[in-house]
Amino acid sequence: MIGAVVFDLDGVILQSEEVWDEVRGRYVVEHDGRYDAAAQRAMMGMSAPEWSRYLAEELGVPGAPEEISAHIVRLMEARYREQLPLIPGAPDAVERLAARWPLGLASSSNRPRIDAARVLAGLDGYFKATVSSEEAARGKPAPDVYLEAARRLGVPAERCAAVEDSHSGIRSAKAAGMHTIAIPNPGFPPGEEALALADLVLDSIADLTVDAVESLDPD
């Protein structure tokens, strides 16, 4: 029996992968680094310490990873305050599932950006537990962030449903033992191998209903 639902943030509630790609890509190029589609895909799911280290060590961006991360996070927060890239229908999906289950949030974003996004989206009161991958030992596709969300919710991971959009996120939720719902990001879709791991694939967040979640575990 499903006891809780854990959402990803980027790509599920916020259409932010494109913003991340633009902001990080511009930062890398302006600092004489190398950026391409392979770099973007490699960083999906990484925690801030992981992707900032990747920018420094693999893409040639000068500076300490902590400084790189701080600069880019400030740029992202400024973009969010200008216009939050909220996915149409996402707040409604959160609200209807919150009426049935306790909700968690398991995100690769850093803590300040998670908290800012929740407030700006008007969703601050819906999540009983939120976890940044900075607060876990490893980012996605490792299961750590989802396992920590389950722990904070007080619900075994195998009784949680996870809502994901990316290849790293789907693999992370499945590795944690969660029932996994995939809503593929049209701009950065998961690979077929990762998508095949999902227990349920939906066309859009509008299809994320109580009945859809309950169908994962009919007993």
pLDDT tens digit string along 38-55? 888 888 778 788 899 999
**What's the topology of domain 17-82?**
DNA polymerase; domain 1 (1.10.150)
Q: Which of 67, 59, 62, 29 is nearest to 43 (CA)?
A: 59
Its pTM stands at: 0.85
Q: Which of 93, 74, 59, 69 is nearest to 205 (CA)?
A: 93
pLDDT recorded at residue 151:
98
Answer whether residue 218 shows pLDDT above 70. Answer: no
Average pLDDT rounded to a whole number, residues 22-42: 90
Q: 3-state DSSP call for residue 160?
A: strand
The proportion of the chain whose per-residue pLDDT surpasses 70, expressed as a percent, equals 99
Locate 111 and state its tokens.
Answer: 């803590």
Q: 3-state DSSP call for residue 66?
A: helix
pLDDT recorded at residue 46:
81
Average pLDDT rounded to a whole number, residues 105-117: 90
pLDDT recorded at residue 42:
86
What is the tens place of the pLDDT at every residue in 121-175?
999 899 999 999 989 999 899 999 999 999 999 999 999 999 999 999 999 999 9
Q: Which of 79, 69, 47, 39 is nearest to 148 (CA)?
A: 47
DSSP β-ladder status, 179-182 and 200-201: parallel
What is the tens place of the pLDDT at every residue in 183-199?
998 878 888 999 999 99
Average pLDDT rounded to a whole number, residues 9-22: 89
Q: Which of 124, 53, 42, 109 is nearest to 77 (CA)?
A: 109
CA angle 76, 124, 143 (to 5 degrees): 70
- Amino acid identity of residue 177, one-letter, is G
- Tell me the domain boundaries of the chain: 4-15+85-214, 17-82
Minimum mean pLDDT range among 28-37, 41-50, 104-113, 136-145: 41-50
> Which pLDDT band holds residue 92 (cuts at 50, 70, 90)?
very high
pLDDT recorded at residue 219:
61
pLDDT recorded at residue 77:
85
Query: Are the C-beta atoms of residues 202 and 185 closer than 8 Å to each other?
Result: no
Q: CA-to-CA distance for 14 and 85, rounded, in angstroms?
A: 5
- Amino acid identity of residue 88, one-letter, is P
Query: Are the C-beta atoms of residues 58 and 91 closer than 8 Å to each other?
Result: no
> Which pLDDT band holds residue 209 (cuts at 50, 70, 90)?
very high
pLDDT recorded at residue 143:
97
**Is the sign of the CA dihedral 40, 41, 46, 52 positive or negative?**
negative
Answer whether residue 113 shows pLDDT above 90. Answer: no
User: Measured in Å, how far apart are the chain's first and last C-alpha atoms?
Assistant: 6
CATH of domain 4-15+85-214: 3.40.50.1000
Sheet with 200-201, strands from edge to edge, namely 127-132, 103-107, 4-7, 160-164, 179-182, 200-201
